Amino acid sequence: IKPNIKAGKMTSITYPLEAIAAATTDKAKFETIFPLLRDEMIEHMKQNEMPEEACEWAKRMMDYTVPGGKLNRGVTVIAVQRTLVQANEGRELTDLEVARASVLGWAVEFLQAFFLVADDVMDDSQTRRGQPCWYKLAEVGNIAINDSFLLESFCFTMIKKHFGMEPYYGRLLELFLEVVQQTEFGQLLDLTSQPAGSDKIDLSRFTLERYKLIVKYKTAFYTFYLSVAIGMITSGVTDPEAYSLSKEICCIIGEYFQIQDDYLDCYGDPEVIGKVGTDIQDNKCSWLVVQALERVDAEQKKLLEENYGQWDDEKVKKVKDLYGELGLEQVFKEYEEASYERIQKGLEKVELMPKEVFELLLKKIYKRSK
């Protein structure tokens, strides 16, 4: 039990410490906290005069949209926290520290759910995590847009409830607000990488410069930097230089991660990655098409323009065959090695905080197949 002292009033939060102690993996420990947070959000709604049907809707929506993924971002918060405590204090995390790190990990997962629910509506996606997208359910439809806003607001409610009394509360809030905005900047760049309302595909907008900006803002900040910065804030790191360096390294790791994602979308096994890749059909500013555009001759460029961004299996095959002709699988493998070396070189400069934090992230994604 952690006393929550605020405005002269004491309330207490009972974390499932026995279940955490009994769980053998970080993911299993992490999962014990979700029901507590979900039920707290429902209780919060009741305190705000929400009737039973609204509370039931929100409960079902959270169960459907939040816990179903790989949970890598949330579990990483625990791993980063542990790495910092081991390096700075030479000890393991207590069960209470695991519980509280898990709350912040779930705040990241609620943000992720907010982005994905909204993203699926914008992209007209059909499935997510092996089931129909939330908005595709007959009774949901466009209500999903408001549901995504709810998920975002719950993230801030849980941070306030569990960390409102901490001296670093303001810095946590600023971090989450900054990362939400950065991710939305990235989404804007992604959504506007083709002219709106036009059937004509303008491949000239698919530049490496634009691609790197989309990745940095849409992926790297909330997938890598957020988890690391949370651990830094709660561990008492205050040096601005340490945060700048972390951001820089997380952006390189984030770029590497997204390029892997783009590669797997085209070449990954759908059975392994859990989805059928559709970047070509969706006219995405993917690393592969950007690399292709830097290598094509006039005839190959014409073939790309005629076949990219269309839901036609024959045309998709022509694009994939062109990628093969251009040797993009080999280009990716060379990029992967060069990126890994670049990140390792960056880690040699890390002195302001334990470099194990970044090695942990890199180990999770190097040469992954899903």
Catalytic residues: 70, 114, 119, 123, 128, 190, 218, 257, 261-262
Q: How far does the chain reach from its first CA to its final CA, in angstroms?
A: 38
121/123 Cα distance (integer angstroms): 6
Burial label, 143 (beta-carbon count in 10 A; 0-12, 13-18, 19+): middle
170/172 Cα distance (integer angstroms): 5
Two tokens at 216?
């940095």
Please say whether the beta carbons of 298 and 312 come within 8 A.
no
Shortest CA distance to 115 belongs to which of 130, 96, 131, 128?
128
Q: CB-based contacts of 75: which residues, under 8 Å, 6+ apart?
A: 26, 27, 30, 105
Residue 232 one-letter amino acid:
M
As beta bridge partners, residue 17 has none
Task: Check residue 288 and give left, alpha or beta (phi > 0: left; psi -120 to 50: alpha).
Answer: alpha
Q: Residue 156 CA to chain centroid, in angstroms?
A: 17
Two tokens at 163?
């960390």
Please say whether the beta carbons of 211 and 309 come within 8 A.
no
Residue for token pair 């509370």: 55
Phi, psi of 127 (to 5 degrees): -125, 155
85/79 Cα distance (integer angstroms): 10
